[in-house]
Structure 1
Amino acid sequence: METTSVNNGGANNPSLTLHQRVAMQGVFGWVAAFVMLVILLVNNFMLAREDKEVLAVDPATNRVIGSVIFDEARVRSVSQINKDLKGWLSAYNSLNAETVWEDAQIAINHMEDSLAEATFKRWTELSQEQKEKGQAMPYLQQIEASGNVARVVFNDEESTLRRDDRVPTLFYGEIQFDIISGIVNPTKRTLRQSIKFNLVPRSENNSLGMEVIDVQDI
């Protein structure tokens, strides 16, 4: 009885002609090439989605001293986002005489352009209102001259923060906090503000990594 080998899918079958064997091996080659192409495409796709990281090296010692993640905004933790948001709200609502100018700069640097313009306009209007009441100094200078000591205390239980369903770097929040002014006989003012902001890469002028689009008292 004659037996037929089935190894290599019939490529070594002695009953096949040389032309048939070459053709079959060619098919196997194309299949292998296609599989390798799919693997490479999947691998490149996964690498493209990974956070790009650059290591910082001390030129004197050649030791790694830190790293930079280019898409840090997308992978930032919720706890860090809350911390940055509180930092901005503290600056935006600052009534502290010693830090009012620094706080104002922080607030403006993290605003979208139209909001920054609206904030400058509001400060001008407040200055004009105070001038009509006999105060000669602009709004921020009045805070500086007051000598006031103030701090912002947040109420996390009465605050909410949510991420946009379609844009992962866009957030909406309703934050409640108290502004406590004075040391000996402190006064407390409770505020609640709605805020819309977008996470952006951190920079020298935007250390909190956020761009505030809108903020309002509610």
Structure 2
Amino acid sequence: MEKKQISEVAKLANLSERLLVYKTMISTSYAFIVWSISFTVAALATWSTIFGPWFPTFVKAFNWVLTAALGSAGVVGMFLMFYIFSRTAPLKAKQLDMKPVARWVFSFVFPYGFAYIVAFLVGIETVISVAWYVALAGTMLHIAALVENEYVKKGLFVARPFFLAGVLMMITSPLVLFTALVRNTATYTIEGVGHWSSEVAYLSANMLALTLMLAIYFVASLYTFFKAEGAMIRHETQSQ
């Protein structure tokens, strides 16, 4: 009887651990969706504003408005993703451990700071407008090294979605930068404004970057979800 009780307790403890892993992985899957949506909404809102009734106001600062919007989206996305993680057991505690917070913030601040410093030194505005994509690739890899690895070591992660996303974004970054460097000028005739010329790369490179980000994050989100499901299925199989 005692052996049976011990076995049941062990199964319950194992189930509890699996549920914790499942919860952590599902929250990670949601985090990728939240991040991609925040960036896409910021970009689309900016473009709709710039090319809307307020065009004469924003036309002279087109690139800077777009860069500011995407930068703001990055900051908002960072806090939203961290909030999602803070709702999971690994970070949820009465006294917040500042180490994960510091690692999380550093993973965003350093790649973005470095990418934009280099972009401004290069001095090509179309490249500056897509620096966020390269910075985001670096952010994903930093999170993989500083945060994700800790989760894997503790058994809270059964996948490496941040590493996957970072590698895929880093591989596709040259394509985005190449698109940003293609110098084609489009001339628009705007009623009440006259003729306005702009590099096509502002739109084409950023649309490509957003498309790649959405596709990669979709893959990372599904990958994380299926790995979480797989962990639960393995537990059920082992319990039978």
TM-score with structure 1 setting the length: 0.32
Greater Cα radius of gyration, structure 1 or 2? 1
Between 1 and 2, higher relative CO (CA 8 Å, sep ≥ 6) is seen in: 2
TM-score with structure 2 setting the length: 0.30
